[in-house]
Chain A
């Protein structure tokens, strides 16, 4: 079984990687749900002046026929008024097949044409099914996590983030 460093350490890691890449106009875009929590932590640590944005990928998921997606109610994307020409950093907790990121990019482009989009994740668990890579990644597993397992991010009432390993 593979284990991860504590989520707080991973966030510190990611903050350190992001700091040099941030400009005053950079906007963090958390991907619902875990990515929004991570983005909130990063946003606070980096003391960004730009408002935090969030994105919901339900409309663009490719797995509706598998019974996924469009389940969570009321989750909507909150993107900057002007996506056109913006520097955006998509934030997610775990990078796996890449399908969520593909859907997030499609959703993003429904709002305009950003100048640049980066991807920041806490964990890359391997198992990519699309040609997608993270620009910033706090931790990469040495070998891919089996498909039957998943890392689940949880947020405690005090806002503390933690990963647990789950079996499907």
Chain B
């Protein structure tokens, strides 16, 4: 079966997951994002690639940063952006996901940016659009359940490439709640596809997949239960947010306990290479997974990540809707 994200020419029509996308496609997106980083520095912070297109932000789950950066990205491409706060709209009145999609399609949508608490919701929408011969409408996954957050994964790769250039010589540690994290899943797919030879999954047993090789297929993955082992000599540290709800499931004793074992402090950071960068997808829990001294320190690239996120999302949206012939 063809990857549902690609058309018969192998071009990207939806961005649902980084799983199954080739190195060539991933690098193509990163390359295309480069010139967009300069758009924000112009007098006119807009380019006309999506002029006349309508982008609907369908956020069935709360998010400020992701929704805002998608909105800015679409607006800088000159698209019209419609934000739907689903909690207060028809879904609350009982409308089904696909009915919502049908209604918005009838309003001449060109793209749906979807955030949903259920894994696979964006796939369902893409399938539905294909089945009803509306494949000209593009779907971008802005995070679905525990499954994927592909634009976050891409902006992380863009950030790594910006600071470290070559993926094939890097040691990268992903630290935190990997088991429940869609961000981690997307990062791991991208890191493996881009040829990172040493990827370390770092966290307590309760928050790591039981067999790392079952999460993604890659020989470069290694599981570390001790933070020290995970950080020693790495070039890149990718912190994950510890979701508060995990505390309730008895997976962790307490935030203080977690910080003691897995919190990134200046002392722990010193184990990594002196020029290692520290990343975090936000929102940060200071004092739980990351110490303020690190979050605000010289090695943190957390705010550049946010800025690069706009360029990467512009690249993705322009590739989907501003690119090749329909």
Contacts and interface: CB of A to CB of B under 8 A. Distances in A.
Contact of A58 (B35, B324, B325): B35
Contacts of B32: 70, 73
B34 A74 contact: yes
Contacts of A65: 324-326
Nearest to A58: B35
Given A59-B47, A65-B324, A70-B323, 8 more contacts: A59-B35, A60-B48, A70-B318, A73-B35, A77-B38, A109-B44, A110-B44, A110-B47
6 contacts: A66-B325, A70-B32, A73-B32, A75-B35, A76-B38, A77-B38
Nearest to A67: B324
B42 A111 contact: yes
B275 interface: no
Interface residues on A, range: 20 to 34
Given A59-B49, A64-B323, A73 B34 contact: yes
Given A64-B322, A65-B325, A67-B325, A74 B35 contact: yes
B136 interface: no
A110 B38 contact: no
B35 A110 contact: no
Interface in B26-45: 31-32, 34-35, 38-39, 42-44
Interface string A83-113: 1000000000000000000000010011110
A124 interface: no
Interface of B: 31-32, 34-35, 38-39, 42-44, 46-49, 318, 322-326
Contact of A111 (B44, B46, B325): B44
B324 A60 contact: no
A76 B31 CA distance: 12
Interface string A33-61: 00000000000000000000000101110
A106 B47 CA distance: 10
Interface in A109-135: 109-112
A60 B42 contact: no
B32 to A, nearest CB: 6
Contacts of A60: 47-48
A110 B47 CA distance: 9
Contacts of B44: 109-111
A119 B189 CA distance: 48
A112 B44 CA distance: 8
A110 B323 contact: no
A106 B35 CA distance: 16
A145 B21 CA distance: 42
Contacts of A64: 49, 322-324
Nearest to B48: A60
The 6 A-B pairs at the shortest CB distance, nearest first, are namely A73-B31, A59-B47, A110-B44, A74-B34, A76-B35, A76-B38
B34 A110 contact: no
Contacts of A109: 44
A163 B135 CA distance: 43
